[in-house]
Amino acid sequence: MAQIMDQNNAHVPIAGNVETVLRGELAHGDALISTIAPILRHLLANDEHSVFSDEIIARVRGMMSDIARQLLTEYEVASDNPDPHDHKAEPVAMLVEGLIGHAGFLAHIHALSLEWQLTERMQARLAVDPVLSPLLQALIASSEPGVASGAMALLAAQARFATSQRRMQLAYTELPGDLLHAALLVLRNVRADQEIAALVDLSVRGRYNESRSRLGLISRLVTGMGGGATAALAVSHAGVGIFLSALALASGQDRDMTVLSTNEGQLARLALALRASGLRAQAVEEQFDSLHPEVSLPAGFENLGSDAAAALLARSANFPVG
């Protein structure tokens, strides 16, 4: 079993102070993060799509294009176009290019792609249902009407998310508020008629409610669990979506960064986030057994306090937001 360390030297035992080891691994992860957006932009902008058959690239492109078409449909409806769904390739491509140019938008779509990849992996390996996890099932059966109704709403939202991801699509209403705002600004830049763009802005914002989005519902559900939210920090019990949101909230990290931490090259960040969330070393190891069974924690990890883990995370890279 390999330990958390430089992937180029994955079979050399770790020695030395655990904080020093994890700090070095975190710095390595930070360096990798800085390369993600430029590489994604290059791959997404390349016209020879068949050369890049990677599922993540295809999924990011699919969601970007779907959002672009939705926003252009809103524009055409506001323009009284009798066939608002008839979009030419050029305006779609221009809008996608603008969305890709926003670092936070690109990072979020990439994170959703990684989340779905992890969801499918957990389903294949541990039989974790991508829609109805044991925790969500228990919350649906709650005797408290507010909890039960919120859990039912999340069940429906998670089912929509699964269907959309299989189709490589994403409804713009599922975007965080700041990213929907960014997308509307891109639309204004792409379409010349600012009066119509303003009408679209008013129409879209009037129907948008972030609290009803999948991520909004998960956040409210986890927050409402209070001290019981520790149960959401077990991926096989909570399901991937709830687990990631709970970990982000408990560790004080951006959710998209939390998603990224489950990927190769960021495992020190994952270990620190789990420890910063208050989990004991044994519980952290259990989550690694679920997520990365081939990886072990560095020697002395049990001596790292949650405050020290949080401090290391706080000095690490922030996710791009603009």
Contact 240, 122 (CB under 8 A): yes
Q: Which two tokens stand for residue 319?
A: 């996710």
Q: Give the model confidence (pLDDT) of 160-198 as tens digits.
A: 999 999 999 999 999 999 999 999 999 988 876 888 988
What is the domain partition of the chain in residue ranges? 16-314
Q: Which two tokens stand for residue 12?
A: 């050399």
Q: Give the model confidence (pLDDT) of 95-134 as tens digits.
A: 999 999 999 999 999 999 999 999 999 999 999 999 999 9
Q: Which two tokens stand for residue 307?
A: 């405050």
Q: How confident is the model at residue 84 (pLDDT cuts 50, 70, 90)?
A: low
If phi > 0 it is left, if psi is from -120 to 50 it is alpha, else beta; for residue 48 that is beta
pLDDT of residue 12: 33
Selection from 76-80, 88-92, 126-130, 261-265 with the highest mean pLDDT: 126-130
Q: Distance from first CA to last CA of the chain, Å, rounded?
A: 39
Q: Which two tokens stand for residue 56?
A: 């993540």
Phi then psi for residue 222, to 5 deg, are -65, -45
Higher pLDDT, 22 or 236: 236
Higher pLDDT, 4 or 81: 81
The yes-or-no verdict on residue 268 having pLDDT over 70 is yes
Name the burial class of residue 54, with classes exposed (0-12), middle (13-18) and buried (19+) by CB atoms within 10 angstroms of its CB.
exposed
Q: What is the pTM of this model?
A: 0.86
pLDDT of residue 60: 92
- Distance, CA of 157 to CA of 191 (rounded, Å): 31
Helix 103-126 × helix 145-166 angle, to 10°: 100
The yes-or-no verdict on residue 142 having pLDDT over 80 is yes
Q: Give the model confidence (pLDDT) of 27-79 as tens digits.
A: 877 777 776 777 777 666 654 433 233 788 899 999 999 999 999 999 988 88
- Distance, CA of 198 to CA of 183 (rounded, Å): 13
pLDDT of residue 180: 97
If phi > 0 it is left, if psi is from -120 to 50 it is alpha, else beta; for residue 153 that is alpha
